[in-house]
Amino acid sequence: MEGNCFNQTVFLFTLLLAIAASSVRGHSTRVGFYSSTCPRAESIIKSTVESHFKLDPTIAPGLLRMHFHDCFVRGCDASILIDGPNAEKTAPASQFLKGYKVIDDAKFQLECECPGVVSCADILALAARDSVVLTKGTSWAVPTGRRDGTVSKASDTDGNMPGFQDTVDVLKQKFAAKGAHTIGTAACEVFSYRLYNFTSTGADPSINPAFVSHLQALCPQNRDGSRQIALDTGSADRFDTSFVANLREGKGILESDQRLWTDDLTKKFVQRFLEVRGSLGLSFNVEFGKSMVKMSNIEVKTGTMGDIREVCSKVNEY
């Protein structure tokens, strides 16, 4: 079980794609793909995301995480949206995903505006960008022109998604084979093992001792494991770099997050995000935008590959 591990998603996009070249294969997407065939496509998606965000701000991390899950399984082809008893969305790693209704609403409006033109995969990629902007994060130009996949299997998620107990070496392998978090939450049951009996003397020693007490108060032993805790302490609802500072202070909620500060290679990059931008410093917003473009082009289907689904949750029948 992963919990709503949005912070790991966002920060690892940026960090690990900065370390290793991603394997972006066969893409021919471009910015402005729908400029003549559906000029209002991006504005319709943006307004749809905004209207849902006003009612429920948690759809922002939900949509970004959904895009991440989609791209890491069969590439960025909207296969995560397909319904079915054994589809990707039924896998344990996908159980906390949210935002499906946002995509469905945007697709319905687009089918009225320009039927059969805009893919579900592109809607998801654009909605992820718009979600980041709504949480005061950076914007970036999203290349479009993806087509939708027609296959969705829960079994394809096995071993592909980064896990909250993965070592840094395993995380780097998974990102290099396919190709970031500053808002969001995780359930107590996902990380509480670090708070009690992690070692013979108690909690995980990599956690700041004062922070251990704070987390134990939020997640008492053998109590409600489904309670959601902010991953980015002090800045849970804002897209910013405080998550990086939290790692330095021993306040990484997930074990795999905190390892980014204890691993020699990744620590160098974390430190660069903490430095003033210049010869050594890295801009989180700039690097995040670059890494999102890389990730969104993983194994995309373009041209005559795939399909343009009429309903995002259903494969077209011919």
Active site residues: 69
Ligand-binding site membership of 232 (annotated)? yes
Give the per-residue SS3 of 132-177: HHHCCCCCCCCCECCEECCCCCHHHHCCCCCCCCCCHHHHHHHHHH
Ligand-binding site membership of 73 (annotated)? yes
Residue 300 and residue 146 in contact, taking contact as beta carbons nearer than 8 Å: yes
Distance CA 258, CA 15 (A): 13
Q: Which long-range contacts (CB under 8 A, 24 or more apart) does 46-52 make?
A: 46/126, 46/130, 48/102, 48/105, 48/106, 48/109, 48/127, 49/102, 49/106, 49/127, 49/130, 49/131, 49/134, 50/130, 50/134, 52/99, 52/101, 52/102, 52/105
Ligand-binding site membership of 281 (annotated)? no
Q: How many CA atoms lie within 13 A of 67 on its CB side?
A: 33
Residue 124 and residue 66 in contact, taking contact as beta carbons nearer than 8 Å: yes
From residue 14, alpha-carbon distances to 3, 134, 207, 247, 299 in Å are: 20, 19, 23, 15, 19
H or E element that contains 230 = strand 228-230
Ligand-binding site membership of 257 (annotated)? no
Ligand-binding site membership of 162 (annotated)? yes
Ligand-binding site membership of 88 (annotated)? yes
Ligand-binding site membership of 79 (annotated)? yes
Distance CA 236, CA 257 (A): 15
Binding-site residue positions for Ca(2+) = 70, 73, 75, 77, 79, 88, 182, 232, 240
Q: Which residues are annotated as a binding site?
A: 70, 73, 75, 77, 79, 88, 162, 181-182, 232, 240
Going by the annotation, the residues of the binding site for substrate are: 162
